[in-house]
Amino acid sequence: MLDQVPLFAGLDAEELATIEQHAVRKRYRRNTVIIERGDEANTLFVLIDGLVKTYVADDSGREMVLNELGPGTQLGELALLADMPRTASVMTIEESVFLVLTKRSFMQCLADHPNIAFNLIRLLAQRTRDLTDTVGELALSDVYGRVAKLLTEAASSEDGRDITRPFTHQQIADRVGSSREMVSKILKDLRVGGYLEADGKRFILHKRLPAKW
């Protein structure tokens, strides 16, 4: 299982088996918060199966989703390395399976296997780049542009049609930093214009979404 995780790339079967012996496999239901912003960092999570979101929320409960992450992703490593509280929360979007390493076990892994440190640097660099792109989009794109980009990137081909994964209007709003009402209006306008149609919580894209609206 760990041989498919980029964090552990380059390790042989014996080394991977040793790491897995120190990890605990945990399964969490959908919509479970596994990391809370501000909490003490004492574990590393490696997502084996499922989908999660990283986000920040204010006291009123309003969220800003920073990213959505799939299998092969490590979670909580930054706070462990910096010995600081968690900087963001993580919630499962669907039922998910993790390998969980204590801080002590993870630090021992870094000491025993230098390849992990190099992999971690590359993955952190990619995470930083993704976050920079997200911040840039929030600063430079209007709400419609962010919605169109999200739908386009979330679509995959099924039976010759481009169909997104399931989204509620609120989930889209959380991802693009807008209100549900604004997102609903944009989606309604796109349906009226013949650009998409709803299929339950998924969207079928009939043609390329316009750059401006």
Calpha distance 9→115 (Å, rounded): 8
* Cα first-last separation, the chain: 45
Q: Is 83 helix (H, G, I), strand (E, B) or coil?
A: coil
Same domain, 21 and 113: yes
27 and 56 both lie in a single domain? yes
213 is a domain residue? no
**Neighbour order of strands in the sheet with 52-57:** 33-35, 89-92, 52-57, 63-69
Looking at residue 34, its pLDDT comes to 95
Residue 72 in tokens: 């092969």
Tokens of 83: 């010995």
Q: Are residues 26 and 99 in the same domain?
A: yes
What is the identity of the amino acid at 80?
A: L
58 lies in a domain? yes
Q: Which of 84, 118, 139 is the last residue of a domain?
A: 139
Residue finishing a domain among 139, 163, 186: 139
Instruction: Judge whether 75 lies within some domain.
Output: yes
pLDDT digits (tens, 9 = 90+) for 80-128: 777 888 889 999 999 999 999 998 888 888 888 888 888 888 877 887 7
Same domain, 60 and 128: yes
CATH assignment of the domain containing 162:
1.10.10.10
In tens digits, what is the pLDDT along the chain, a chain of 213 residues?
Answer: 777 788 888 888 888 888 888 899 999 999 999 999 998 888 999 999 999 999 988 877 778 888 889 998 889 887 777 788 888 999 999 999 999 999 888 888 888 888 888 888 887 788 778 777 777 666 657 889 889 989 998 999 998 899 998 989 999 998 888 889 999 999 999 999 999 999 999 999 999 998 777
Residue 19 within a domain: yes
Buried b (16+ CB within 10 A) or exposed e, 111-137: eebeebeebbeebeeebeeeeeebeee
Residues 23 and 65 in one domain: yes
Kindly state whether residues 149 and 97 are assigned to the same domain: no
Report the number of distinct structural domains present in the chain: 2
The last residue of a domain, from among 139, 161, 190: 139
Q: Which pLDDT belongs to residue 132?
A: 76
DSSP labels, 25-74: EEEE-TT-EEE-TTS---EEEEEEES-EEEEEE-TT--EEEEEEE-TT-E
Boundaries of domain holding 147:
142-205
In this structure, the answer to whether residues 74 and 46 fall within a common structural domain is yes
Same domain as 123, residue 20? yes
Three-class SS state of 160: coil
Inside any domain, residue 149? yes
Distance CA 33, CA 31 (A): 7
3-state helix, strand, coil in the chain (%, to 5): 45, 25, 30
pLDDT of the residue at 138: 65
In a domain, 104, yes or no: yes
Q: Kind of pairing, strands 202-205 and 196-199?
A: antiparallel
Phi then psi dihedrals of residue 23, to 5 deg: -100, 155
